[in-house]
Structure 1
Amino acid sequence: MSFDDLTRQRAIIDRRALVAAIAQAVEAEGAASSRKTITGLLRAALDAGRAELAQRLLAKPAAGHEITHGHAFLIDQIIRVVHDHVTGDLYPVANRSSGERLALMAVGGYGRGEMAPHSDVDIAFLTPGKPTAWCEQVVESILYFLWDLGLTVGHSTRSLDEMVRQARGDLTIRTAILEGRYLWGDKDIHRQAETRFWGEVVPGSEAQFVTEKLAERDARHKRMGDSRYVVEPNVKDGKGGLRDLQTLYWIGKYVYRVRSAAELVDKGLFTAEEYSSFRRAEGFLLAVRCHLHTLAKRGEDRLTFDLQREVARRMRYSDRPGKSAVERFMQFYFLQAKHVGNLTGVFLAQMREQAAERKQREGLLQRFRRPREVEGYLLRGGKLSAPGDNWFREDPVRLVEIFALAEREGLEIHPETFRIIRRDAPLIHAETRKSERANAAFLDLLTGRRDPETVLRWMNEAGVFGRFVPDFGKVGGQMQFDMYHHYTVDEHTIRAIGLLSQIERGDLADDHPLATRILPGLKYRRVLYVAVLLHDIAKGRGGDHSVLGAEVAMKLCPRFGMTAQETRLVAWLVRYHLWMSATAFKRDLSDPKTIASFTEEVDDLEKLAQLTVLTIVDIRAVGPGIWNSWKRQLLSELYNYAEEYLRGGGDVQLQEKRLAAKRAEVRDLLGKQAHLLDELDARFDRDYWLQEPADIIAINLPHYAEAMRQKQSLAIHTAYYPARGATLITVMGDDHPGLFSRIAGAISLAGANIIDARIHTTRVGKAVDNFLVQDPLGKPFREEDQLARLKKSIEDALAGKIDIVPKLAARPLARSRAETFRVEPRVLFDNEASDRFTVIEVTATDRPALLNRLTRAMFEASLIINSAHITQYGERAVDTFYVTDLLGHKIFNKDRLAKVEAALLAAIAAGEPQGIAAE
């Protein structure tokens, strides 16, 4: 590693001046007594060097290589000065013995000369034999100086024999020494270490090293989310990050003996263009890492939401129509991560290919065997290989057809051919896009029955996908700056297509029984695949992406060769792809008006089936933990109600049919207690029977009967409710205004979140309120002590033992990741969504106790809440309430609605932390 390309080195650190100042301190105070003065001199030099490099980073915010080399250079000079002071002033030896020799070797990232501002300093101290007392004194003294400077030092002291023995048995040690660089001290020992490492450790272990390194990489990817498109990526260890590039270099150096990444070109593992891409991606990622360390003032490698905006600002990104600065920065980040993935694939495939060719040359029979052909392509090593370098230039349509062929036949593409594809992808122009052959091939791939997800991802990484479908290219690497969407738009879309394919093959029947049942009966199978492809195609354009996406569909579908009827259906699905989830999660499915309004737009069974599956794969592909049994249940209910409605019968007829079926189901569930149905029926009104699922009614009735028998004024029951992946809390007692608000506050104090609520008052004035709750991670409470704590909290709150409002206000709340964002609060009133209730939809930043504040505001505004439906989209909470006034009427008066809106906005503002950054 040479720092010759580092400009104005003396502005970073003037080593001569520092040495002179230390010599002056030693002369004035003595070697031992001057330690404090010398430490001060060293710290001042370190701080000044870091400040200089920080200024250079601001001046050249993408200069990753220069800044990381600068930090390594700075630490080099500090350590060299410390070493010379320790060996020359503190522990001088006139005539050292053969054992009193020491070499300092920089290892790891420091050895590569790549150090972010707060990177660890990794040093190997090497001795010819067992360390002598002098060696131990010198090492200890050097380390104490470095620790006093606040550096995080990783260190080892080994003899040459120990180094060889330990490197043979430990992959981490072997990798560290692989990147070893002479730092200071005895050069001869360092030369011996290099000679013995390459002569005694490496030979014969190359295959094992590659296998272990790739296994280590795969485990790291799995730990980090196994996608290079997670929206809070780890710049160092995440998929597509710096460690992936370093792994390539390690393997290249270990197997091919290269001394720099540039030499990988000479070995045929990279082309010159690919190496340039390597350097660009590496430089960008190093720069991002330096900005992260500078902002966090520590070794921070995770590009979290709160840091993304600041890094984007420092790297001089600005807002554009439809895209914020941070979204533009992150899109470029993901494009670099994609380049890293491309390079990794090419490198490893080429390495495997070279190994396979060597084996073939060793086998005499293979030498004369003609490779098999598939539609003009050679099969080399079982992979599709173009017959010549000009294959795609002669007919650019082949750039699409090869991927369709790969999917249909279940074959991989040869790495050399993949390189040619990436090189020739720019040949795709308007003529290719209009080609019937090309579009037919693309549609075959998209709707393939083997593994369209994997092959579409290859197509995307080769640069063909975005050029053949330019609208898709525009969302490549595009993220949404929020906590709900876990992946970039292109990755989310490809994952959704993969999920659709898996469901169709029957691989996810347990998770998605409804979709698995629906798919075989679809009339227009390929419509659904195209709709999944296009549902988010217009994100980032400014405006409603559903409306804009439908316009894109109307242009693209005819190009793909779809009929006018198919085109209209795709456009409709894209336009309304959020309609079903919004209805299921934010509306009362037991209200007949909800189903009637939903089916006004979804006016036939094919549309309903298509939209249901599209909704399921869209939600599931958002990210881990987003899909759950609660959402599955609600979507299934909406599908079943809508299907029933579309198959015929008026509202009243359907209600009567549904009520009769539910009563029969409850009777079966009650078994020996079925008599309760007749005994208690008169106490519960029609709304209760319509709104509650049969299994919850079968739970409520025995509890209600027992409370009557024991003459309890308050009965609380908590139980794990697996049907919706939540915990069911039932509160029965005397009804009074504000009860919902107090229960919500008590549940919040117990550390739970309400996801759904049904509020009922029996004909004799008793409250029967059912709440579905989860923990802050979206999981149910199921342990006995957890259920008991929930029950006790509600009992104490309703008995007046705790004053909820001040208790919630005083409760220390951990800083939420949602505080990085600010959702513009909004209150919407809808008097058309229900025949009996005014529907209030409140959108706000998700905060603990938000529901308690909202329900308290409605209580103080003299509103009665009939049901509540609570939905979170990352940092955004959308809470929907079905309410009436105290007389049971809807609220139409504009002045009254304005006062309710003001009260709800005030309640939201009261819970907002100060200093939230607006977006």
Structure 2
Amino acid sequence: MVLYEHLVDSLKTQRQKYADNFGEESITGHTTLVEISLISLYNRLINVLDLDAEAFRANGALVATGDLGKSFIGPHQPITLIFLKTPECRLQEEWLREIIDPLIEAGWKVDYTAGTVQDIIAEAEKNIGFLQNLITSRYISGNRKIFEDLDAALEDLLKGRGEEIEGQLRKEWTAGMELVDRPGAWMEPDLFAFPGGIRSITTIRTVLRLSGFRKIDEAVRDGFLNHREGENLLKAERFLTRVLNVLMSLENRSERVMGFPVQRRVAEQLGYSNRGAFSAAEVFMQELHRYFFETSQTLRLLFEKKAKIPVSYESVELEPGVFLRDGRVEIDDQGVELSPELFVRIFLHAAKNGALVGGKTLDLLRGSRHILETCSGNRRVLDELLELVHSDSPVLPVFRLFHDMGFLGDLIPEWKGILGLMQCDGFHEYPFHEHALRTLQEVKKVLGEAYRSDEPELSSIARRINDPRWLYLAALLHDIGKSAGRDHALRGGEMIPAIARRLGMLPEESDMVQFLVGQHTLIMDSASMRDIGDEEMLAHCSLLVGDTIRLDNLLVLTFADLKATGEKAFRKWHQSPMIFLHERLSQILEKGEPRPGLIAERIEQIKQIVQREVSDLMDESQVVARLEDVGPRYLLSMEPATIARHLRMEWELLHSPEPFVLDVTAQDKTWTVTLLSETAPWLLFKTAGLLTLHSIDISAAQVFVKNNGTAILIFNCSPTKAATRPDWESFRADLKRLMEHRFSLDFRLAKHAALTRPAAVNHRPGDTRVIIDNESSAHYTILEVHTADRTGLLYLITKTLADLDIRIYVAKITTRGSRVADVFYIRDHLDRKLSDSEQIEELRSALLYWLDEAYRQSNEGFRKEAANG
């Protein structure tokens, strides 16, 4: 007999072969190992305990449940077992420990239940989780007859309480669907609870058993599931098992939520790699969400198919062969020929009647989806689809059903490229397909005047849109180019003509959608990253837009896009003068030039409000003089109350011996830091560097230089993860020493960097783009820097500009999750646009070096240091 210690060592060695391998073959091999080990350990009891072999085998059985019962279990998942016994058997705990303990000591987690058939069924009656595990039970060893008795008793239980169990599962599924409306739930999903996750697959298996099918393959053979559904379910289950094993192999074995750090580790363990502009984690998460999507479709369809129609119901014929019955649209599959336009019109009928599509009809349509795949050029299908969107309620329940059944992807194959695709940047709250659907919802809400009180100007503009069909389609497709990675708006615009031809659109319709998709970031980028007082920029925008109809549609799309992206994105709507930009462009498009008095009217409005705020300090003429001393962008970007506060700060600066005035305003866990001082080439980069030194992150910044030489610096800040609340008094003291040239900033930053490990950033060499534009503005060179966000970034960029004696007149720093887009209006030391090609190339090379190469070398140094202990 093998000694106990040798047995445990052998099991541990065999298990370890599979512990760090998460491929399907490895998990299959591990499952076989567990089964063989259980059979051997069960048989070993006879010799170890000197039992009557025949009596022992006749009175007990070993049964696998859960994942082991499904014959696919990884080394990090718990083994769940049932020790069945007859009423005559005096099963003792020490017997069970002889099987369980060697497995536990070898590294497995084991959960077990022991009892008679009656005991097990009693537990299943009161615990639905136990019942669902029991449904997958499988005989391992012992008396097979006892297992068969258990299976028969389980079958009786399911028949007797089937409706009750199914009702409970429906409630759980409905509750789980609420997760899709929870911010962050898509980007960092719960592997069990998210619709389409592990719990959904368990529910599907339970529903199948309630319908008389023990295995997925049986349901496919009988036609209860189609082949594609069955195949996707098995693939999804195996995929999620692999993911779960990686999760459970990490330090926190109870981890179920796929947080961003976990996503990166899982992707690495499963062998994913970067694809174009998307990281390995993002590639992995797209596949995960696609499995969620397919599984959720199947479960929803199963519940719809099993929904019972009351014996007495009203049936209304909507058109020949199409009926409305008990809140569901159904078709007579024997009396109607299914065409592509009827396929979509079934959903249109549902939308117009406030109904959904019945389960049997959905099942028929799922089996006939090839009809949509081969309807290229059929304009009637597009008309029905757009009418469906128009007729549906703002939350689009029927259109979402059309989408969730996979039909939108059949009609527009390009859609599948963004299905489940996401950016793990903390800025986007949804994968791109879900974001697009929510953008469409927001468009419908705007057009339906849902924002009349909150956004009166936008609502007024939206009323002018007489034909919203192409706005609907553009909202749906505005991010279709995301599958290509960078420059998604441009790429999306290039994809539209082919889509339009397939949908049977007229050239002018295609042109409208192509414009809206290709330019859907124009208003947002121009308002947040450009000087609205720049006439060249306005002329360029108006040339791109072409007419006021397009402009109105574009503004509504911009609002909807930002609103549907998430809270951080939507702040830009109020922080940037997008409505005013729309007004200026409208003037140009209607009259060929901006209305000369527009800025003057705006100043007049501001003057009246500001004058009341600062009447104790200055009269009306002084207010006007101060406002005329600053560029239009400042006036159009600031709220009157903020301008008044800046005027008070400027008054204090002029009447104080101090070199600066500092104001810090707290909001939640962020701060707005405003600094007024006499302008100097080093002012911006040194202030930014000092904020970095005090462990303060800069998420956004604006810089304005007044004609009188006063600089206004505005920073939106938050403490770094390693810091607590900033010590602003200490910062103020260091700022004063800095301006009095008694503080060596470079020395302090170098010392700080030596003690601080840089935070991990989703950034690869060559990921930085530097654009130097001398065409868009007559008076300034426009510098754009697009790169990964990191501590001290603004300091690096502005110090590089100062080294070349380049002056900054307007700056706009915008953070979008893990990415930043920094825009600077600059001139050289002679107050001219940059014209020296050697200086331009030096600027570009220096920025790329500091932001890419030097950063890479720094990170590698830290990694080597960590590896060496």
Instruction: Give me the TM-score of the superposition, normalised by structure 2.
Output: 0.82
Give the direction of change, closer, same or farther, for the CA distance of 1:379–1:168 in structure 2 (3 Å limit): same
C-alpha contact 1:129 1:159 (8 A) present in aligned 2: yes
The answer for the alignment partner of 2:771 in structure 1 is 828
Which residue number in structure 2 is paired with residue 279 of structure 1?
231
Which aligned pairs between 1:116-127 and structure 2 lie closer than 5 A? 116-124=74-82
Distance 1:225 1:673, change over 3 A: same
Match of 1:363 in 2: none
Helix, strand or coil at the partner of 1:627: helix
- Identify the range of structure 1 (551-560 vs 109-118) with the bigger mean alpha-carbon deviation: 551-560
Secondary structure in 1 matching 2:630:
helix
* 2:734 aligned residue: 796
User: Residue 296 of structure 2 corresponds to which residue in structure 1?
Assistant: 341
Q: Residues 534-553 of structure 1, C-alpha deviation per residue, up to 9 Å, x if partnerless?
A: 43445547996655654654
Alignment of 1:389-428 (within 5 A): 389=334, 391-393=336-338, 395-428=339-372
Match for residue 67 of structure 2? Answer: 109
- The residue identity in structure 2 corresponding to 1:702 is R
- Determine the C-alpha separation between the residues in 2 that align with 1:716 and 1:102: 80
Q: In 2, are the aligned partners of 1:714 and 1:734 still within 8 Å (CA)?
A: yes
Offset at residue 716 of structure 1 (A) = 2.3
**1:290 is aligned to 2:242:** yes
2:749 paired residue among 779, 783, 805:
805
Confirm or deny: 8 A CA contact 2:220 2:230 kept in the other structure.
Answer: no
- Where structure 2 has 5 or more consecutive residues not aligned to the other structure, the ranges are 862-869
Aligned residue for 2:169, secondary structure, equals helix
Aligned to 1:374: 318
Please give the alpha-carbon distance, in whole angstroms, between the structure 2 residues aligned to 1:845 and 1:498. Answer: 31
Q: CA deviation at 1:717?
A: 1.7
Secondary structure at the aligned position of 1:41 is classed as helix
Structure 1 position 507, deviation (Å): 3.5
| Corresponding residue for residue 388 of structure 1 | 333
2:573 to 631, 635, 650: 631
Match of 1:531 in 2: 474
Letter of the 1:832 partner, please give it.
E
Cα 1:697–1:282, aligned 2, differ >3 Å: closer, same or farther?
same
The separation in 2 between residues aligned to 1:812 and 1:618, in whole angstroms, is 38
Residues 516 and 103 of structure 1, relative CA distance in 2, 3 Å threshold: farther
Retained in 1: the 8 A contact 2:11–2:103? no
Distance 1:293 1:511 in 2: 48
1:228-307 matches, within 5 Å, as 230=186, 237-253=193-209, 255-256=210-211, 258-264=213-219, 270-271=223-224, 273-274=226-227, 276-287=228-239, 289-290=241-242, 293=245, 298=250, 302=258, 306=264
Three-state SS of the structure 2 residue aligned to 1:450 is coil
Query: Aligned AA for 1:75?
Result: V
Change (3 A) 1:568 1:689: closer
| Correspondence 1:132-143 to 2 at 5 A | 135-140=92-97, 142-143=99-100
Q: Quick one: which amino acid aligns to residue 375 of structure 1?
A: E
1:587 CA drift (Å): 1.7
Instruction: Tell me which amino acid in the other structure corresponds to 2:345.
Output: E
Using the TM superposition, give the Cα deviation of residue 658 of structure 1 relative to its aligned residue in structure 2, in angstroms.
Answer: 2.8
**CA drift at 1:348:** 0.7
Q: Does 1:582 align with 2:525?
A: yes
How big is the shift at 1:855?
1.8
**More deviation, 438-447/119-128:** 119-128
Contact 1:868 1:882 in 2 (8 A): yes
Deviation sequence 1:831-856 (CA, Å, 0-9, x none)? 23334332211112222222222122
Q: Is this contact kept in 2: 1:335–1:476, CA < 8 A?
A: no
Who is 2:438 aligned against?
495
- Give the distance between the partners of 1:225 and 1:452, measured in 2 at CA: 11
Q: Indicate if the aligned counterparts of 1:330 and 1:477 stay in contact, CA closer than 8 A.
A: no
Amino acid of the residue matched to residue 238 of structure 2? L
Which residue identity is paired with 2:648? P
Does residue 700 of the first structure (1) align with residue 646 of the second (2)?
yes
Partners of 2:607 and 2:709 lie apart in 1 by 23
CA shift for structure 1 position 558:
7.8
- TM-superposed CA distance for 1:741, in Å, is 1.9
Q: Distance in 2 between matches of 1:150 and 1:695?
A: 65
Check 1:736–1:505 CA distance in 2 against 1; reply closer, same or farther (3 A cut): same
| CA 193–677 in structure 1, closer or farther in 2 if over 3 Å, else same | farther
Distance 2:136 2:216 in 1: 12
Confirm or deny: 8 A CA contact 1:281 1:337 kept in the other structure: no
Secondary structure of 2:307's partner?
A: helix
Aligned to 2:138: 181
- For this pair of structures, how many residues does the alignment match? 838
**C-alpha deviation, 1:85, in angstroms:** 4.5
Give how far 1:290 is off.
2.6
CA offset at residue 871 of structure 1? 2.5
The answer to whether the 8 Å contact 1:864/1:883 transfers is yes
- Answering whether residue 10 of structure 2 is matched by residue 36 of structure 1, we say no
Deviation per residue, 1:138-157 (Å, 9 max, x gap): 44454442232222334456
Change (3 A) 1:319 1:713: closer
Q: Deviations 1:30-70 (Å, cap 9, x if unpaired)?
A: xxxxx43322122223234669x87xx4xxxxxx5x76554
CA shift digits 1:555-612 (9 cap, x unpaired)? 6658867666544433332332222222123223354544343333334332221111
Q: Which residue of 2 aligns with 1:716?
A: 662
The 8 Å contact of residues 49 and 74 in structure 1, kept in 2 or not, is answered as no
Q: What's the CA shift for 1:347?
A: 0.8
Q: What RMSD, in angstroms, separates the aligned Cα atoms of the two structures?
A: 4.5
Aligned residue number for residue 4 of structure 1:
none
Residues 1:170 and 1:419: Cα distance change in structure 2 (over 3 Å): closer
Shift of 1:332: 6.4
1:212-227 equivalence runs, <5 A: 212-223=168-179
Is 1:865 the counterpart of 2:803? The answer is no
After superposition, the Cα gap between the structure-2 partners of 1:560 and 1:74, relative to the gap in structure 1 and judged at 3 Å, is closer
Name the aligned partner's letter for residue 41 of structure 1: S
Structure 1 CA distance for aligned equivalents of residues 340 and 848 of structure 2: 58
8 Å Cα contact 1:105-1:184 kept in structure 2: yes
User: Is the CA contact 2:761–2:790 (under 8 Å) kept in the aligned structure 1?
Assistant: no
Change (3 A) 1:87 1:750: farther
1:380, CA displacement in angstroms?
Answer: 2.9
Letter in 2 for 1:796: D
Residue 883 of structure 1 aligns to a residue in which SS? strand
8 Å CA contact 2:39–2:141 kept in 1: the answer is: yes
Show the counterpart of 2:866.
none
Please say if residues 73 and 241 of structure 2, whose CA atoms lie closer than 8 Å, have aligned partners that are also in contact.
no
Other-structure match for 1:81: 40
Contact 1:729 1:772 survives alignment (8 Å)? yes
Provide, for residues 518-537 of structure 1, a one-character-per-residue CA deviation record: whole Å limited to 9, x for no partner. Answer: 22222432232233244344
The residue type equivalent to 2:300 in the other structure is G
- Write the mapping of 1:423-434 to structure 2, written as runs, cut at 5 A: 423-428=367-372, 432-434=375-377
Q: Is 1:880 aligned with 2:810?
A: no
**In 2, Cα distance between the equivalents of 1:823 and 1:901?**
13
Q: 1:340 to 1:762 in 2, by over 3 A?
A: closer
Measured at CA, do residues 506 and 478 of structure 1 come closer, stay the same or move farther in structure 2, by a change above 3 Å?
Answer: same
CA distance in 2, matches of 1:865, 1:552: 38
Q: Aligned in 2, Cα 1:687/1:887: closer, same or farther, shift over 3 Å? A: farther
Offset of 1:349 from its aligned partner?
0.7
1:249 is displaced (CA, Å) by 0.8
Q: Deviations over 1:373-421 (max 9, x none)?
A: 112212233311112336234x443223222222223221121112222
Q: How does 1:408-557 map to 2 (within 5 A)?
A: 408-428=352-372, 432-450=375-393, 453-469=396-412, 472=414, 475=417, 477=419, 479=421, 483=425, 489-508=432-451, 514-537=457-480, 540=483, 546=489, 549-550=492-493, 553-554=496-497
Alignment CA distance shift 1:545-1:50 (3 Å): closer
Alignment partner of 1:620 out of 539, 551, 563: 563
Give the 3-state SS of the residue equivalent to 1:271 in structure 2.
Answer: coil
1:654 aligns with 2:598: yes
Structure 1: stretches of 5+ with no match in the other structure: 1-22, 27-34, 58-63, 361-365
Checking the alignment, whether the CA contact within 8 Å between 2:810 and 2:824 is kept in structure 1 is: yes
